[in-house]
Amino acid sequence: MIPASFAAAIVVINLIITILIGVCVGFVVSRALHRPWGARDAAIDTALAAVVAIAGALIVTAIDDARGNLQSRVMLVALIAIASVALRHLVRRPGSSDPMGG
């Protein structure tokens, strides 16, 4: 068993990496769609990637625990969080940072 502090550090590092990749994907998708991308978009991408990564980790862990299947799902959770950022940029209206177009 690894110490709890080491495990917590691994979780934080994975979360930071997921957030950084999510922000980069948001930038690339915005540029590919010829849409503006700035500090507000980066902040929204950061928050979205963080919330989805944490919620996804909790949900995937609960499902795996209920099934008795304990294995690492870091890549799955990271891909879900990164895809949510890309999806946000695909559904927002041009020129808007708000996914609802407001």
> What is the domain range of residue 25?
4-91
99 part of a folded domain: no
Q: Is residue 57 part of a domain?
A: yes
* 67 contacts 42 by C-beta, under 8 angstroms: no
pLDDT bracket for residue 7 (50, 70, 90)? confident
Segment 67-91, tens digit of pLDDT: 888 788 889 999 999 999 999 999 9
pLDDT in tens, 37-54: 999 999 999 999 999 999
Residue 71 maps to a domain: yes
| DSSP letter (8 states) at residue 93 | P
Does residue 100 fall inside a structural domain?
Answer: no
Neighbours of 82 (CB within 10 A): 22
Report for 15-24, 58-67, 71-80: range of highest mean pLDDT? 15-24
Q: 27: helix, coil or strand?
A: helix
Q: What is the pTM of this model?
A: 0.82
Rounded Cα distance, 14 and 53, in Å: 9
Q: Is residue 16, in this structure, part of any structural domain at all?
A: yes
